[in-house]
Amino acid sequence: MTPGAPTVVASDLDRTLIYSAAALALGMPDARAPRLTCVEVYQARPQSFVTETAGHLIAELAARTDAFFVPTTTRTREQYLRVNLPGPAPRYAICANGGHLLVDGRTDEDWHAAVLGRLAADCAPLAEIRDHLRRTADPAWLLRERDAEGLFAYLVVDRALLPDTWAKELADWAGPRGWTVSLQGRKLYAVPRPLTKSAAVAEIVRRTGAGSVLAAGDSLLDTDLLLAADHGWRPGHGELAAEGWGAPHVTALEGEGVGCGEEILRAFLARLPG
């Protein structure tokens, strides 16, 4: 940590800070459930939530002058921009798993062009991956197949019908082609290995002169972000928790569901100086 330098606080969103109704996992009687704040509306319906307390903590973090709060998500830009977090709008945000670096809500085109160049050089093309997904996915459990801004693909699946071995078989096929597979809730992602959140965070560190990075995330696609941070946190739920993943500087929290978002935010604020 560099004395006097700002801190970058890079956090995944879904199932880390914000939660769909299906992912809230309140685990308590209704009468004791925390008050919730809606932070996303989709097709005129409430979509994602934080606890009321977490909303206040996000606003406090976003207002800090000694830190840059950076939402860091696999969501596309359109999906991210419908999230309305409490507090001042973040100066920087990372979308599409690092494919887009937003500055005041707008894509940095130079960064995006550099990402496209790395993908073209280092991994199989998206068209090949999507073709394989279409040929091997079973309509019995496949709900939708999507192209995420021409950068990666994901499937929306019926988890109850998805065979336990299918994601691993896909990962074994995709790995030699330079792609990573991650299963998060109902979504199964196929993402180029060079497309990382940590690379975009490193660019923000360069631009801001930050002296340290704090990070949080729950999925396989967050491992590079957590490993690159000075300190990180992962919830007691999600892909990483299920695999028992850890690192010496990453705190494995026991909390699960929306309440864990509060834990992560308190941990961020406690680590900031002053």
Higher pLDDT: 33 or 148? It is 148
Q: Which residues pair with 70 in a beta bridge?
A: 10
The confidence score (pLDDT) of residue 31 equals 81
pLDDT tens readout for residues 61-116: 999 999 999 999 999 999 999 999 999 999 999 999 999 999 999 999 999 999 99
Residue 264 has phi, psi (to 5 degrees) of: -65, -45
Share of the chain above pLDDT 70, in %: 99
Query: How many whole angstroms separate alpha carbon 191 and alpha carbon 250?
Result: 23
* Residues 50 and 39: beta-carbon distance below 8 Å: yes
Q: Would the pLDDT of 244 be above 90?
A: yes
* Residues 92 and 103: beta-carbon distance below 8 Å: yes
**Can you tell me the mean pLDDT for 244-254?**
96
Average pLDDT, rounded, for the chain: 95
The confidence score (pLDDT) of residue 274 equals 67
Model-level pTM greater than 0.85? yes
Q: Are strands 100-103 and 92-95 parallel, antiparallel or unpaired?
A: antiparallel
| Tokens found for residue 140 | 């019995």
- Label residue 1 by pLDDT band (50, 70, 90): low
The separation between CA 58 and the C-alpha centre of its own chain, rounded to angstroms, equals: 16
pLDDT tens readout for residues 22-38: 888 877 778 888 999 99
* Residues 214 and 234: beta-carbon distance below 8 Å: no
The confidence score (pLDDT) of residue 190 equals 96
* Residues 230 and 201: beta-carbon distance below 8 Å: no
The confidence score (pLDDT) of residue 185 equals 83
* Residues 216 and 193: beta-carbon distance below 8 Å: no
What length does the chain have? 274
Q: Would the pLDDT of 146 be above 90?
A: yes
Q: Would the pLDDT of 40 be above 70?
A: yes
- The amino acid that residue 152 corresponds to is F
The confidence score (pLDDT) of residue 28 equals 73
Q: Would the pLDDT of 50 be above 80?
A: yes
Query: How many whole angstroms separate alpha carbon 208 and alpha carbon 211?
Result: 9
Query: How many whole angstroms separate alpha carbon 222 and alpha carbon 239?
Result: 10
3-state SS of 189-246 is: EEEECCCCHHHHHHHHHHHHCCCEEEEECCCHHHHHHHHHCCEEEECCCCHHHHHCCC
- The amino acid that residue 178 corresponds to is G
Q: Would the pLDDT of 271 be above 70?
A: yes
pLDDT tens readout for residues 185-220: 889 999 999 999 999 999 999 999 999 999 999 999
Angle at 94 between CA 166 and CA 54, to 5 degrees: 90
